[in-house]
Structure 1
Amino acid sequence: MTLPIVVGVDGSEPSLRAVDWAADEAAVRGLPLRLVYASLWERYEGSSLAEDVGKPSEQVRAEDIVATAARRAHRRQPDVKVSTEVLSEEPEYVLVRESRSASALVTGTRGRSGLAEALLGSVSLTVAGHAQCPVIVVRGNHDNQARTGTHGRVVLGVGERPAGSAAVRFAFEEARRRGVPVDVVRAWRCPAHESTDHPLMAGEPARLHEQQAVEALETALQDVPADVESHRRIVEGRARTVLVDASRDADLLIVGAKRRPGHYGLQLGRVAHGVLHYSACPVVIVPEQG
């Protein structure tokens, strides 16, 4: 069964930018594109009908939004098969449900510039924290245009996962499709309480944590494909800060997020949460089971 790339649309500039990005991704992968608009408009409009078309006015607006998004996708990638749906439900619930039968789910941010651009909308944040497929949050520009890759690399943030990480697999598959290398980054820090003022001991805690970071990176990458070029970097600093810095010269930033069975809260670690708000390029959150 061919699973589509699903995009949550709402008529905003960020969501149209997400449609552009998703259309390009669908073309590269040879997948269909599904555009979904969800809103609880019935709660507010009840059975009142627009006089000219016999439908609630918000439903008319929703159908216009998905039709506009579909035309935009067709113009950008004429060969991609596009379908649309309008649902009177909470958008967070709809998109998480859609993630169960999608190859990837794409959303935009709701900010438009400055500080607003840094603040991820609640829908995107909730979906990223609960979806069962990779979630791509398209950010990094302050207009309504999705940029094609210009830096020629994807960045993978490596955490504590062992070999076989879904995020590692996703990063290398994406790099292969794009024909670009993977910049694999592992951040490390020496906790302040482990440092010492003695000049002969000052370097030991740092060297220990740096070596542990090297070993974690090597473990995570032990089964990566040999046909994809990769560059490995160990960087001292907070993981969120290191990855946000790396995103400034990347076309895509990929991190994993552990999914805990039976846990119903937002399942995003601090690093994933941080890069979703501040990355300079689109971010992929890949669910890691267990």
Structure 2
Amino acid sequence: NPNPEDLKMLKEISKAVKENNADIGFGFDGDGDRVGVIDNNGDEIFSDKIGLLIARNLSTSHQKSKFVVDVKSTGLYVNDVILNKNKCETIYWKTGHSHIKRKVHNEKALAGFEKSGHFFFNQPLGYGYDDCINSAIQVCHLLDNQDKRMSEIIKDLPQTFQSPTMAPFCKDEEKYQVVEGLVDQIEKIKKEKIKIDGQEIKEILTINGIRFSFEDGSWGLIRASSNKPSLVIVTESPTSNERKIKIFHFIDDLLKKTGRVGDYDQKI
């Protein structure tokens, strides 16, 4: 089944964009509820950043709106200049399209964005469900309203260094217990003010696994996959690619010590 999060699929779309001199490339999954985006230069843009660009575009005409994003998503939403200027609120919530869909409905949010490419739009933009065609249309509206190429629009966002979503094997009957143990370890590291790559953990979010953030805005995520025998790992840093990788190595070392985590589907 086509996966808009998979780097191999995105690279194939990138190739087609370059060969056809296209303005943008879209990748849809098999049942039509997820979208991936490639810019005019053939560079992949992770769906959480596409969501932020759409939210920025919508916030101008829908001030004081709420947006829901999953815990795998970029930390840029929190301090975004345009969203804050337009008095919009971002709510981080559990990964999983059913969780995001429900939260968007309950919060009466204008839209919800999941890093896997599930986007949800409430009235007047949609009916609250994830539709890849509607999502692609919102990206086209973004291009039209900004009157810029996608490669120019993405440069308006502060640079961050993001990992892809990585999924190391972990048995279904063990994955939640493994994550609980890691939550305890990381909470202890924060409490004892132990530094990771020279920085203390500033904040911890445990609504869905554990997302831990540092003083410079870098963060890492460990959670159990809801539908596969695996964990889900994501890291991001606004500082450097090296720092992103060091946070991953910190997580990877913790996973290895459990003795219950196997090979990754993809790795940085």
The TM-score with structure 2 as length reference comes to 0.27
User: Structure with the greater relative contact order (CA < 8 A, sep ≥ 6): 1 or 2?
Assistant: 1
Q: Which has the larger radius of gyration?
A: 1
